[in-house]
Structure 1
Amino acid sequence: MADNKKQVVVIGNGMAGYRFCEKLLEYDAHHQYAMTVLGDEPVPAYDRVSLSTLFSGRRQAELYFAEQRWYDYYKIDLNLGSRAVSVDRKAKSVTAEDGTEYSYDKLVIATGSRPIIPAIGNTALGGVHVYRTAADVKAIREEARNAKNAVVIGGGLLGLEIAEACREMGLETTILEREKFLMPEQLDEMAGKLLDMKIEELGIHLKLGAHVQSLKGESDIERVVLDNGDVFDADLVVVTAGITPNDEIGTEAGLERGARGGIAIGKTTQTSDPDIYAIGECAAFKDTLFGLVAPCYAMAETCAAHLGGINKTFALQKPASKLKLLDLQVASIGNIHLPEDGDVDYFYDQDIQNGVYKKLLISKDWKTLYGAILVGEFSEFERLRKYIEKGLEMPDHPRELLAPIGRPIELDIELEDDDLVCFCNHVTKGDICKAIDAHNLKDASGVMATTYAAGLCGGCYDTVVAVTKQYIEHGV
């Protein structure tokens, strides 16, 4: 019977690739597919969002989504340490680095992305690292044992994460950021400045407007030089300057690319070849690239549903990130970089002395909420996200949407079934309720184990607990 199944080959065993496998098992009601997975790394798929926990002693195996036996149980042919190097669309085959060929009926490309290495020279010096994989963490930890000074190039989320890890390992740590403030993609200048102060209070040095000119050293890194002549001693350098899609295997196969790179896909995640799909960070939808796990998971689910004959499509969602970073609550929702001369007005509430800043970006008629930034307190997150995602009309007084500073609002669990609860794992309230009924779950821990809600960043933990309790006790 297995020989009669259609062969699905998945290139990539990262988070999106694994989620696709999991969802295809769910949506393949007629058991018509057999899966082969080619994974570049020598270990099974793992939780990259929690990568920083490896610095504090967590074992790598604890991050695995599934051990080898899971793949064996579901008869998934998992090939670890097997890099795919070419796709022959005419022969419908994939060739791996060792020369092995894999025939496919349907191909799913989930090759992810790789770090951008700035053109600053000497990036091959010993002690210069990127921060992307479990192997990177291992290399950084080993390097840190004999280091005193660490320099992190890039002040985005990953840069802050690795800077905190370096500080925890006892290194004198400096962040170099090109922009005027940290996390410029998610924050405005005022919010960024608050974050800057918090970082420096923790003992991490910060240099803003820093343009790295070169790395210096004989065989190992010794100094980082800026274009203004400033010099920073460094035994360890970590580059977190962004990512670029691993789209080469698709490009070389003649698949269409997005305007800014990435393998172009439509709403079913099909590429320009209807038998080839692309999901995750290697894909471009409407010329948009993705670096967050939530849309990558949504693509994986859409792809699996399409193969299973289920009508589900991928669509751009309003960005929303909620994180507790270095003990500072930070949230960014919707479009927070609208032009000041456009159809936009602003509403602020702040207590800078106590590290609280809240900003709403509103249409000039004060009827539509475009975006929101919350720093220091973010109990309004769910409420604001719903207004932005669903385009709800604003109340007459925008202040009503914000909790008074120092007095957080009660958790809003009046959600519709299609409202997202867990952004990272793309779990809705309806998913939680269905899981409770299907598996006779008794508490939130059972819900989290079954749906993976709150399993990555943990930012939705309180909401998952509240929704679970409400449904179990009241059936709504």
Structure 2
Amino acid sequence: MKTHPPAEAPALPLSQAAAGGVVSSKKQRLLMIGHGMVSHRFCVEWVKLGHDGFSLTILAEENIFAYDRIHLTQGLSSSGEAHLELAPASWYSEHGITVTLGDAAAHIDREQRQVTTRSGHIHAYDVLILATGSSARRLSVPGADLPDVFVYRTLADLAAIRQRAATAKTAAVLGGGLLGLEAGRALLDLGVQTHVLETAHGLMTRQLHAEASQLLEQRVKASGLKVLTGCITTAITQEEASLQLHFRDERTLTADMIVMAAGVEPRDELAQACGLQTGARGGILVNETLETSDPAIFAIGECAVPRGVFYGFAAPGFDMARVLAEKLAGRDSRFTPTEYPVRLKLAGTDVVTIGDIRAEGNLLTWKNQGMLKQILLHEGRVSGVSLFGSTEDVGRLQTAVMQKQRLRFWEQARFVKTGSPWKPISQDVTQWPATAAVCQCTGVTRGQLSCAYAAGCKTVAALSAETGAGTVCGSCRPLLAQLCGSTTSPAVRLAKPLLWTCVVATLLPLLHAVLSPIPLSPTVSGFRYDLIWLDGFWKQVTGYTLLGLMVLALLLPLRKRVRALMHLGDYGAWRIIHTSLGVLSLMVLVSHTGFRLGFNLNKVLMMNMLTLAITGALSGAVIALAHRLSPVSARWLQVGWTCVHALLTWPLLVLVLFHILTVYRY
């Protein structure tokens, strides 16, 4: 454990420290209390800016380095939490950051500029940052502190819940918001029959309009979760080996375990104890530069309430971390509140809300096949958005809410008719909104790429290395080239082998379609080459070989979905493998059919397979030739052929299944 004793010389005024005006050769002592996601993001921003005039020390309450709370639910399904770690211990030491784990701050002495920890160690500071986050709200009802009643906030909470779920048969989750629904789904995946209880008469009622809330409830129930709304818990009692919840309307519910996921509260106890100003409903009051009522102390993340507003999620905290890092570097950076998207992503359900969709105004609605989109207009300007089942245009809609953009009458009519108020997005990626995702595989946005470009990443390779964009499927590389101001896309690795493989993959199906069938052997004795498609045994060998190759080719795109595989190998090599599997499938197809197209549905199946091979080969050829095309042409040609290729896959699966059934049945 490393500590910093008080300095002998008096601390510099904050105005000098924050502005980088170091008048002494001694580094300024920057101390941060709290080590969550926002604290880590500050470290990342701090390292980028190279604060040579500061030494950074972090006091962490937990015995683990910062981890990803956003995906905390995923940790319920396994005992390992390593995938949640944001950075290893070596990263902090490499960048000169001292992190003290498991020794929380207990007292702040503003006069002496010292922080005392629970173990009694004293840390002096010139600048203090409070990043204490928030704590899970525990309902103030009798029995809330009984065994088997859990809150859901930290890895320790996660471990306790997972241990109890191993023997529990039933569970109740108190809270029908984002956290409650995610916790309920995770418990259900662990095999525990789970009820989600909500005091309001609907799910996510703070974010969703009544119709969207009802649609969400239907979808959640269909997934296996049981939902009870209008349940106001008045007490929890122990009933032998189980717990019983008592509701205001005299209903009861028995469960083996209870998880409270009814929101969070800012942790401001240290701030209150040392006399810092706090909000009426809690939280540390800060101004637009994140400064508290003490000019030597700043607050960021969920513990801070800029202009009295409490943000209970990570995105605003990340912005605060960036702003404060820039301020300490001497820049005139200020935190500007904006409308952040609130997202719920469960199996088969994607919900995004921006702004207040429940406020007064003109509500536009588009509904189609289980999808619901709503835009709230106030005096003709976008003030709220709700997307259920489809997140198309989310970046542009967020920008519209932030800028209070006016929707003209024809844009309103287009939204009601098509679900989008605008025509398809501009082909010029430099004109895209900053929040629009350029790389769909990794989620890297145009804004992130523009920042990386401004920071010196002037080539596609540099942008990919810095942000991860274009490292998975490569379809966005023409867009990266466009951002770099290039008139052509960079050549992919193994472009020539990929091109020749695609040429072969294009010629084979064309030959299959135009050549006459291979004639049957004219003799019944001697070598019978036609037995390979006449004999039942060989017919099955070639058929199942073909099926195996097709399945393997269909599984390759899963690389986009499996995080561990995303950065394994070069995408050019993956393309060659995928196209080679197509070539092998066509060669086996010849041995299976003898260039015969078949009849009726078998002919439809053959034409589908040949067309599938051609479209896939054309998509690969565009990638191989992208460096000879304009970025816009390369992008849209590849996207177009890839979409057609993907669409043809679905009828193929049905036709193959039907073919197998008819062969064995008839």
- TM-score, normalization by structure 2: 0.64
Structure 1 residue 471 and structure 2 residue 485: aligned?
Answer: no
- Paired residue for 2:434, among 401, 419, 424? 419
- Paired residue for 1:362, among 377, 396, 404? 377
User: Conserved in 2, the CA contact under 8 Å of 1:361 and 1:370?
Assistant: yes
2:448 — aligned with what? 431
RMSD of aligned residue pairs (Cα, Å): 3.0
1:375 — aligned with what? 388
Measured in 2, the distance between the counterparts of 1:134 and 1:309 equals: 36
Structure 2 residue runs of 5 or longer lacking an equivalent are: 1-21, 486-666
- Cα displacement string for residues 258-308 of structure 1 (whole angstroms, at most 9, x for unaligned residues): 222101001110101111000000001111001111100011111111111
2:174 — aligned with what? 153
- Cα displacement string for residues 326-353 of structure 1 (whole angstroms, at most 9, x for unaligned residues): 31121211221213xxxx21222224xx
Structure 1 residue 230 and structure 2 residue 243: aligned?
Answer: no
Q: Secondary structure at the residue paired with 1:317?
A: coil
Q: Secondary structure at the residue paired with 1:78?
A: strand
User: Conserved in 2, the CA contact under 8 Å of 1:258 and 1:285?
Assistant: no
User: Conserved in 1, the CA contact under 8 Å of 2:430 and 2:483?
Assistant: no
- Cα displacement string for residues 344-365 of structure 1 (whole angstroms, at most 9, x for unaligned residues): 21222224xx32222211134x
Q: Secondary structure at the residue paired with 1:66?
A: coil
Alignment of 1:142-181 (within 5 A): 142-181=163-202
Measured in 1, the distance between the counterparts of 2:167 and 2:91 equals: 39
User: Conserved in 1, the CA contact under 8 Å of 2:170 and 2:192?
Assistant: yes
Amino acid at match of 1:432: L
CA shift for structure 1 position 38: 0.3
Farther-moved stretch of structure 1 (355-364 vs 107-116): 355-364
Alignment of 1:63-462 (within 5 A): 63-217=84-238, 221-339=242-360, 344-351=361-368, 354-364=369-379, 366=380, 368-397=381-410, 398-401=412-415, 404=418, 414=429, 416=431, 419-421=434-436, 429-435=446-452, 438=457, 440-442=459-461, 446-449=465-468
Amino acid at match of 1:355: G
Q: Secondary structure at the residue paired with 2:461?
A: coil
User: Conserved in 2, the CA contact under 8 Å of 1:85 and 1:96?
Assistant: yes
Instruction: Decide whether aligned partners of structure 1 residues 375 and 11 sit closer, same or farther in structure 2, where only a CA change above 3 A counts.
Output: same
Instruction: Decide whether aligned partners of structure 1 residues 377 and 173 sit closer, same or farther in structure 2, where only a CA change above 3 A counts.
Output: same
Measured in 1, the distance between the counterparts of 2:426 and 2:247 equals: 47
CA shift for structure 1 position 401: 4.0
Measured in 1, the distance between the counterparts of 2:443 and 2:56 equals: 23
Number of equivalenced pairs: 454
Farther-moved stretch of structure 1 (169-178 vs 370-379): 370-379
CA shift for structure 1 position 249: 0.3
User: Conserved in 2, the CA contact under 8 Å of 1:441 and 1:447?
Assistant: no
User: Conserved in 2, the CA contact under 8 Å of 1:122 and 1:215?
Assistant: yes
Measured in 2, the distance between the counterparts of 1:355 and 1:53 equals: 26
Measured in 2, the distance between the counterparts of 1:142 and 1:162 equals: 15
Measured in 1, the distance between the counterparts of 2:60 and 2:374 equals: 43
CA shift for structure 1 position 447: 4.9
Measured in 2, the distance between the counterparts of 1:221 and 1:101 equals: 46
Amino acid at match of 1:442: A
Instruction: Decide whether aligned partners of structure 1 residues 125 and 411 sit closer, same or farther in structure 2, where only a CA change above 3 A counts.
Output: farther
1:457 — aligned with what? none
Instruction: Decide whether aligned partners of structure 1 residues 394 and 184 sit closer, same or farther in structure 2, where only a CA change above 3 A counts.
Output: same
User: Conserved in 2, the CA contact under 8 Å of 1:126 and 1:219?
Assistant: no
Q: Secondary structure at the residue paired with 2:409?
A: coil
- Report which of the two has the higher share of helix: 2
Q: Secondary structure at the residue paired with 1:304?
A: helix
User: Conserved in 1, the CA contact under 8 Å of 2:141 and 2:235?
Assistant: yes
Structure 1 residue 43 and structure 2 residue 52: aligned?
Answer: no
User: Conserved in 2, the CA contact under 8 Å of 1:356 and 1:405?
Assistant: no
Measured in 2, the distance between the counterparts of 1:173 and 1:3 equals: 60
The structure with the largest alpha-carbon Rg is 2
Measured in 1, the distance between the counterparts of 2:332 and 2:443 equals: 17
Measured in 2, the distance between the counterparts of 1:136 and 1:219 equals: 24
Measured in 2, the distance between the counterparts of 1:272 and 1:219 equals: 51
2:509 — aligned with what? none
CA shift for structure 1 position 444: 8.2
Q: Secondary structure at the residue paired with 2:387?
A: strand
Measured in 1, the distance between the counterparts of 2:230 and 2:171 equals: 18
- Cα displacement string for residues 225-261 of structure 1 (whole angstroms, at most 9, x for unaligned residues): 2122212111110001111110010111111112221
Measured in 1, the distance between the counterparts of 2:73 and 2:171 equals: 16
Structure 1 residue 22 and structure 2 residue 36: aligned?
Answer: no
The share of aligned pairs that are identical, in percent, is: 30
Amino acid at match of 1:21: C
Farther-moved stretch of structure 1 (412-421 vs 195-204): 412-421
CA shift for structure 1 position 439: 7.8
Q: Secondary structure at the residue paired with 2:375?
A: strand
Q: Secondary structure at the residue paired with 1:194?
A: helix
User: Conserved in 2, the CA contact under 8 Å of 1:158 and 1:240?
Assistant: yes
Farther-moved stretch of structure 1 (205-214 vs 220-229): 220-229
Q: Secondary structure at the residue paired with 1:34?
A: strand
- Cα displacement string for residues 98-152 of structure 1 (whole angstroms, at most 9, x for unaligned residues): 0000000000000000011111121222211111111111111100111001000
CA shift for structure 1 position 47: 0.6
CA shift for structure 1 position 13: 0.5
Measured in 2, the distance between the counterparts of 1:239 and 1:62 equals: 25
- TM-score, normalization by structure 1: 0.88
Q: Secondary structure at the residue paired with 2:71?
A: helix
Instruction: Decide whether aligned partners of structure 1 residues 445 and 188 sit closer, same or farther in structure 2, where only a CA change above 3 A counts.
Output: farther
Q: Secondary structure at the residue paired with 2:221?
A: helix
Amino acid at match of 2:220: I
Measured in 2, the distance between the counterparts of 1:76 and 1:387 equals: 40
Measured in 2, the distance between the counterparts of 1:132 and 1:394 equals: 40
Instruction: Decide whether aligned partners of structure 1 residues 377 and 242 sit closer, same or farther in structure 2, where only a CA change above 3 A counts.
Output: same
Structure 1 residue runs of 5 or longer lacking an equivalent are: 454-460
- Cα displacement string for residues 377-414 of structure 1 (whole angstroms, at most 9, x for unaligned residues): 221322222222123321222132467269x9856675
- Report which of the two has the higher share of strand: 1
